[in-house]
Amino acid sequence: MDYKVKLDIFEGPLDLLLYLIRKNEVDIYDIPIALITEQYLAYLDLMTVLNLDIAGEFLVMAATLAKIKSKMLLPPSIDSEEGEEEADPRAELMEHLLEYQKYKEVADQLKNRELLEKDIFTRIQVEEDIPELDKNSTMIEASLFDLVDALRTVIARKDLPGNLMEVAVEKISVRDKIGEILATVKKNQQIIFQSLFDGLSTRYEIIVAFLALLELIRLRAIKVFQVHPHGEIRIIALEREVRIDTILH
């Protein structure tokens, strides 16, 4: 038999199985396990040949298929005298596929809707206010990872010129920046990370601001945290006197 393989990118084993079911025009309620398993494994082989990484999930599904296939080969047990029907070994998989298919369907419907910022536009919304901190909100300390990630977003949003030489007329020092940030944070109780970089247009300025922030964290003059993981990074001042003149000497 000649397989003509169209290599769609399959999101996962369920996606691949649904594709195979559709391609073979078989009933999802009565999956010919032997056929589907064979084709499924052929796909995995192909992926290996193409040097694609096969995610673990694909292998787990291969094992599940093999298990179902072997169960189906066994004669039905004769123990059940009352004529109870034995559960179809495919039942669990079938249910799983049906459920997944349902959400795929919803996904398609969502995609076909008129989308905001694509088909429909509203007036530009300003960034939402930072919700007030209450006593119940958890503070998750932002890791260096989070900070670097946020910095990357800032730089990406700024759309900085690529390889242009930057000629800064007046360069601000990290030390000055520390003072500036500290003053802003103390004045506003809490500020969001992004706002530190508002109005900064050169890479140099952004890096200086970032270094200043790191220095302030090291000195425990401020605290950077998130209320939710991956949420907005906020900065608050800690009750601690920092003498700027002693910094960075």
Partner 1 sequence: MEQTHIQKEQTKYIIECLIFASEVPLTIEKIKDVLEETSKKELKELVKELIEDYHKLERGIFIREVAHGYQFCTKPEYAHLIQKFRKSKPYHLTQPTLETLAIVAYKQPVTKAEVELVRGVDCTGVLKSLLEKKLIAFQGRKDVMGRPFLYGTTSRFLEVFGLTDLSSLPSIEEIKQLKEPDFPQCEQDTQ
Task: Give the binding site for partner 1 (CB under 8 A).
Answer: 11-15, 22, 25, 27, 55, 57, 61, 96, 99-111, 113-123, 125-126, 228-231
Q: Could you tell me the smallest distance in angstroms from the CB atom of residue 31 to partner 1?
A: 13
CA dist 189 and 91 (Å) reads 58
Residue number with CB closer to partner 1 (115 or 238): 115
Residue 113 or 220: the one with the smaller Cβ distance to partner 1 is: 113
End-to-end CA separation in angstroms for the chain: 77
Closest CB 73 distance from partner 1, rounded Å: 25
Q: Is 93 exposed, middle or buried (0-12, 13-18, 19+ CB in 10 A)?
A: buried
Q: Shortest approach of partner 1 to residue 227 CB, angstroms?
A: 9
Measured from the CB atom, is 120 or 164 closer to partner 1? 120
What's the min distance (Å) between Cβ of 157 and partner 1?
A: 12
User: Please, which residue, 20 or 181, has the CB nearer to partner 1?
Assistant: 20
Which amino acid belongs to residue 13? P
- Token pair recorded at residue 76: 């039905």
Cβ atoms within 10 Å of 173's Cβ, excluding its own: 12
State both tokens at 100: 């997944």
Least distance from partner 1 to the Cβ atom of residue 238, Å: 26
Beta pairing class for 234-237 and 222-226 = antiparallel
Closer residue to partner 1 (CB): 184 or 194: 194
